[in-house]
Structure 1
């Protein structure tokens, strides 16, 4: 099956890439999740639009990625969420909440899809979160999840 990626998929490609994947993987995972669209001559014309949108939000080069990495690694990120007795959260911490917490702490604006969370965060405490800034640069920072009063 020939597809065009609309979002970054780990170990597969970036938005705008035209790929050949197995039929089941494309039909059962990539298309329903919105990670890709079927390839057609009309969809091929959308590739330039997808690539322009990706370039607008992507970190430009390795030097800029290293600057953002240095900024992130020196950052203390704290997130207050509703929790019950024993530090158990009502729900879990989402990547969007982590991105907002980084921005509130004075950090750079990040893409939530590039966050690599340590599983589902469902209790208070300290966690290590990493961000893939560039194909060669990955930054990690400490996230402290507190119970809101």
Structure 2
């Protein structure tokens, strides 16, 4: 039986995928939990139109992300904070501090551990699934 997934289902497929499953599995699990609906010709055509639009949007999104990557990698973010004479910061620089400076969502910043010393660092920001920007951060004393 062909079904259209209404949301991501582990080991089965992703949203709007058209898949072939056994009738019992479809009726007793997927339909009962509103994870899928039966695939008919009209629904399949609508899904194909949606997928075509999504692929066009993805191309545009990738172009924008590439431009943003070039801009982010060309700049150095300077964060000024209080530090002791030995170069150790009184308050560590976290993802939140970087997020407020760059204005990107927290989940996109790939940060190993908070910065606790003065100096230059590199942080990875995930712009799309494929495109990541490496941003240079310079932590200076106030």
Please classify the TM superposition score into its range, dividing by the shorter chain length. Answer: 0.5 to 0.7
User: SS at the partner of 2:137?
Assistant: strand
Aligned to 1:66: 66
Aligned to 1:143: 137
Instruction: Map 1:77-96 onto structure 2 (within 5 A).
Output: 77-96=77-96
Aligned to 1:30: none
TM-score normalised by the chain length of structure 1: 0.54
In 1, Cα distance between equivalents of 2:73 and 2:126: 13
CA contact (8 A) 1:131 1:140 kept: yes
Counting matched residue pairs gives 93
TM-score normalised by the chain length of structure 2: 0.56
**Structure 1, gaps ≥5 residues long:** 1-15, 21-40, 45-58, 103-108
Instruction: Map 1:112-127 onto structure 2 (within 5 A).
Output: 112-127=106-121
In 2, Cα distance between equivalents of 1:65 and 1:138: 9
Instruction: Please report how far the alpha carbon of residue 17 of structure 1 lies from its aligned counterpart in structure 2 after TM superposition.
Output: 5.1
**Moved segments of 4+, more than 6 Å:** none
Q: 2:105 aligns with which of 108, 111, 116?
A: 111
**Structure 2, gaps ≥5 residues long:** 1-6, 12-32, 36-57
Larger radius of gyration: 2
